[in-house]
Every structure is written in structure tokens, then in C-alpha cells.
């Protein structure tokens, strides 16, 4: 698996480096990244059987639009959950448009989730609003218009703060709370508070384009329905990012 991790990192970073001159000519910027985490945690759900994973992707942006590719690769086998080391359990394609001024940032987009069988693929539309003020308060709503049979809505509200304690080092902390409104395919068939998350990260700039970010997230369920579906979890990992 170590060879797979190194190969994935090399592939993403090399592809981004080769593409940089062409992208600059058409005014396209973006990033390529690869990370190693002790599990795959999504909306409080442990989706890797508490086994480590490798996650990587590429984002390309121009004139407010961003096209994103992201994949999760199992780093260790979990036979009980039928997860095999070296296999991709999920790949996401995201199309986003973000408008920002001095006061607010507005994002709208769609996430297409390609999931490992026997799970069906699905899609979520989302809308997010961030106020450019103290703690950057953000509200997002997600709508599963594909596989959800009920309302298919999921809401998050978050705050965050970043500061630079020293040159080349940026530290970020954040808090998030979520509410599930019968997003029955991906979360659960109930309408109540789902989970809260506390996060911290530190990004160190190795060069002007290359950075490394260790991060930590704590997630815990809120409502009784959520406690039946998810447990309290810690997530730790480190990400290497190339911007261009």
C-alpha cells in the first residue's frame, strides 16, 4: 500500500506540474493534493471500517467556476465491510460557481458521488453563503435530487478562524453543526439535528506552491436518531498540496 500511496501522490503532483504552463495560458488556476488519514469520516459516518485511507484530488478554477475531482482509496483491508486495500471506494466530481465581494461569498454547485457497488451513485445540489466578517459564519444546504426518496435535504452551519503565529505557518480552527431533513439515502430517514464537528489544522508553506497540512477533527452525534446511526469519532491526517 505504501507503493500505491507514493504512486498516487506522484501522479497527482506530476500531472499538475506538467499542466501548469497550459493552464496559465488560459487563465486557469487550481490545486492538486494527496492526503493520508486514519479513516474516511463523512458527516459523522465512518466509511472505511476504521481503517486508514488515502485521499487525493485536483481542482481547476477559472472565472468563478471550479471543477473538482476527488477519490478515496482504502489503505487497509476490512473484510467485514468488504473493503479491500488499494481499491477506490468513492470518487466525486464537483462543479462549483462562487461569487464573492467584500462582504459575502455565494457558492452553488453539484456533487456527483460515484460509489463502490452495491451502493448506487447519487448527486447533490448545494448552496452556500459565507459572511466576510468575524469567524466567517457559513450556512450550506445540500439537496439529494437523485437517490433520496424523501426530502433529501441536509444543512450545515459553521464558523472558522485562521491566524499566522509565524512566517509560513497558518493555523485554522473551526466548528460545525448539521441538521438532517430526511436525506434518507445518504444520512437517514429522520428530521433532527445530526452531528457537530470541531476541527483544527496547521498549514506550513514548504515553498510558494507546495504546502503540508496536518489536521484533526472530532465529530459527535446530537439527536437520538443520529446516535443510532453514528458514533463519536476522531479523524487525524496529513495533506500535501500543490497550488498552481
| pLDDT score for 31 | 98
pLDDT for position 13: 54
Reduced to 3 states (helix: H, G, I; strand: E, B; else coil), residue 39 is coil
Burial class of residue 8 (count of CB atoms within 10 Å of its CB; 0-12, 13-18, 19+):
middle
**The pLDDT value given to residue 5:** 45
Pick out the chain residues at pLDDT < 50: 1-6
Query: pLDDT value at position 24?
Result: 52
Q: How far, in Å, are 10, 34, 38, 67 from residue 6 at the CA level?
A: 6, 10, 17, 24
Q: Which phi and psi angles does 51 have, rounded to 5°?
A: -100, 150
Quote the pLDDT of residue 3: 46
pLDDT for position 22: 54
User: Against a cut of 0.85, is the pTM above it?
Assistant: yes
Task: Tell me the residue ranges of DSSP E strands in 134-206.
Answer: 138-144, 153-166, 169-181, 191-205
Beta bridge partners of 63: none
- Exposure string over 136-145, b if 16+ CB within 10 A, otherwise e: eebebbbbbe
Which pLDDT score is estimated for 78?
76
Cα separation, 232 vs 41, in Å, equals 11
What confidence score (pLDDT) does residue 8 get? 53
What pLDDT is recorded for position 1? 44
Cα 57–chain centre separation: 10
pLDDT of residue 119: 87
Query: Which domains are seen in the chain, by residue range?
Result: 2-243 (2.40.160.40)
Amino acid at each position: 500500500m505504501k507503493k500505491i500511496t507514493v504512486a498516487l501522490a506522484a501522479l497527482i503532483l506530476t500531472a499538475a506540474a506538467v499542466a501548469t504552463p497550459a493552464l496559465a495560458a488560459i487563465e486557469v488556476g487550481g490545486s492538486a493534493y494527496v492526503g493520508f488519514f486514519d479513516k474516511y469520516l463523512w458527516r459523522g459516518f465512518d466509511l472505511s471500517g476504521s481503517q486508514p485511507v488515502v485521499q487525493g484530488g485536483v481542482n481547476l478554477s477559472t472565472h468563478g467556476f471550479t471543477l473538482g475531482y476527488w477519490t478515496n482509496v482504502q489503505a487497509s483491508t476490512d473484510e467485514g465491510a468488504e473493503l479491500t486495500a488499494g481499491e477506490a471506494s468513492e470518487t466525486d466530481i464537483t462543479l462549483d460557481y462562487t461569487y464573492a465581494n467584500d462582504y459575502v461569498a455565494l457558492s452553488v454547485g453539484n456533487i456527483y458521488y460515484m460509489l463502490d457497488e452495491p451502493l448506487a451513485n447519487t448527486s447533490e445540489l448545494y448552496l452556500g453563503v459565507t459572511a466576510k466578517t468575524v469567524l466567517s459564519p457559513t450556512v450550506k444546504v445540500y439537496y439529494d435530487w437523485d437517490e433520496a426518496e424523501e426530502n433529501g435535504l441536509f444543512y450545515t452551519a459553521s464558523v472558522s478562524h485562521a491566524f499566522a503565529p509565524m512566517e509560513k505557518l497558518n493555523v485554522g480552527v473551526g466548528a460545525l453543526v448539521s441538521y438532517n431533513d430526511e436525506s434518507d439515502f445518504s444520512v437517514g430517514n429522520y428530521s433532527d439535528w445530526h452531528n457537530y464537528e470541531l476541527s483544527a489544522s496547521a498549514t506550513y508553506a514548504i515553498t510558494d506552491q507546495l504546502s503540508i497540512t496536518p489536521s484533526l477533527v472530532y465529530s459527535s452525534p446530537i439527536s437520538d436518531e443520529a446516535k443510532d446511526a453514528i458514533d463519536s469519532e476522531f479523524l487525524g491526517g496529513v495533506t500535501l498540496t500543490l497550488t498552481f
